[in-house]
Amino acid sequence: MFKILHFGRSCKAYLSLYKDHAPKIKLCCEACGRSLHKHGRYYRSVTTKHSIYRIPIYRLYCPDCRSTVSLLPGFLVPWARFATWVREAAITRKLLGLSYRQARKTTTVPALRYSHSTMRRWWKRHIRTASSVALWVAGQLVSAGFDGDLLRMYPPGAAKKPEDTLLWLRQLLSCYTPVYPWRQGYFALLNSRLPGAELL
């Protein structure tokens, strides 16, 4: 199991805070409610636009359920090698009309470039999850008392395309967080709040 939390805006900030010691955080087991205990750490590599960082991932343990929880920083999702903001930058460029190749060339330095198939996989996954994430964001806006017509924000036209949902999601996000979170991006912000199965 994992929990995505805000532990710093960047890999450098995360390492300066948690290189040698775990975050001071208290969590309860989602299954039984018992307090979780520290349970060591493991290391992961994270690729950003210019560098590869090796960062510690701290774990917690439930003595009753015998389950562990990995505490991921907001710029990571499980099993992803690239930082969340790299993936978001690539998807944003593709949404703006760039080709896969152009999007790849402008998001990392040549030595750290990801493959064409990786870019396609990110794009397909984003299209697959965008509708459920958009509905979650819309629900959060309604719960917060947003009085605009959210459905009218959906791009008009008879022939709907998957990209239309991506554009709608972007509009919803601009209402959800009016000031764009420049350092982290929308994905990192949402991943710490979304239900686990809906990560961006």
Structure tokens at 165: 């949902």
Q: Domain residues of the chain, as ranges?
A: 2-73, 84-198
φ and ψ of 194, to 5 deg: -70, 155
Burial tier of 96 (Cβ tally within 10 Å: 0-12, 13-18, 19+): exposed
Angle between helices 84-95 and 162-176 (to 10 degrees): 120
- pLDDT per position in the chain (200 positions), as tens? 889 988 888 899 999 999 999 999 999 998 898 999 999 999 999 999 999 999 999 999 999 999 999 999 989 988 889 999 999 999 999 999 999 999 999 999 999 999 999 999 999 999 999 999 999 999 999 999 998 889 888 888 766 788 889 999 999 998 988 777 666 788 888 888 887 666 77
Contact 172, 138 (CB under 8 A): yes
127: Cα separation from own chain's centroid: 14
